[in-house]
């Protein structure tokens, strides 16, 4: 139960950090590109690398590791977890699986965003015509 509470607390902290970074105004940059999200993803990836490297040499409880990795950093950006898991595959000599993870996550992820978007449009149109609700 303690671990779950720590993960929840870390998740709240990570979400607030994400909100802060994503909401920053990048007034000196173009307004179209999602700089806030990109910044959160890159900061998270860098942070998980540093923490991973530090935790390799420091003995910490599983609860604290969960608070930091699953709570704070993973809620700040899941991209960081994806990066860490891919690097672990490379480290473990699972090069094919690492590249499969890179390709599948990016290609399938984008495809699912598109499919979800199209499905929502169809459902919205059907709702507007009274097909789904009578």
Say if residue 29 is in the same domain as residue 82.
yes
Say if residue 21 is in the same domain as residue 74.
yes
37-96 pLDDT, tens digit each:
788 888 888 998 898 888 888 888 999 999 999 999 989 987 888 888 899 999 999 999
For residue 39, what are the domain limits? 2-93
Say if residue 12 is in the same domain as residue 41.
yes
Q: In angstroms, what CA-CA distances link 107 with 42, 76, 101, 110, 114?
A: 19, 22, 10, 5, 11
Say if residue 70 is in the same domain as residue 40.
yes
Distance CA 2, CA 67 (A): 10
Number of domains, the chain: 2
Say if residue 23 is in the same domain as residue 87.
yes
Q: Quick one: which of 53, 46, 54 has its CA closest to 77?
A: 46
Say if residue 80 is in the same domain as residue 131.
no
Q: Give the model's pLDDT for residue 23.
A: 76
Cβ count near 93 (within 10 Å): 9
Residue pair 20/76 in contact by the 8 Å Cβ criterion: no
Say if residue 81 is in the same domain as residue 116.
no
Say if residue 54 is in the same domain as residue 112.
no
Say if residue 84 is in the same domain as residue 109.
no
Distance CA 46, CA 39 (A): 10
Distance CA 131, CA 134 (A): 7
Say if residue 12 is in the same domain as residue 35.
yes
Distance CA 13, CA 73 (A): 9
Q: Give the model's pLDDT for residue 72.
A: 95
58-67 pLDDT, tens digit each:
888 999 999 9
13-40 pLDDT, tens digit each:
999 998 888 777 665 666 666 777 788 8
Residue pair 13/70 in contact by the 8 Å Cβ criterion: no
Say if residue 14 is in the same domain as residue 78.
yes
Cβ burial of 109 (10 Å; 0-12, 13-18, 19+) is exposed
Provide the whole-model pTM.
0.69
């Amino acid at each position: 139960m303690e671990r779950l509470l720590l993960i929840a607390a870390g998740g709240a902290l990570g979400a607030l950090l994400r909100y802060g970074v994503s909401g920053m105004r990048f007034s000196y940059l173009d307004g179209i590109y999602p700089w806030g999200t990109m910044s959160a993803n890159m900061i998270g990836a860098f942070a998980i690398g540093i923490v991973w490297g530090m935790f390799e040499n420091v003995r910490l409880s599983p609860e604290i590791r969960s608070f930091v990795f699953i709570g704070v950093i993973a809620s700040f950006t899941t991209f960081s977890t994806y990066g860490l898991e891919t690097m672990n595959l490379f480290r473990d000599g699972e090069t094919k699986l690492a590249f499969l993870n890179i390709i599948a996550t990016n290609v399938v992820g984008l495809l699912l965003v598109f499919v979800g978007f199209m499905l929502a449009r169809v459902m919205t149109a059907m709702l507007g015509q009274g097909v789904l609700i009578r």
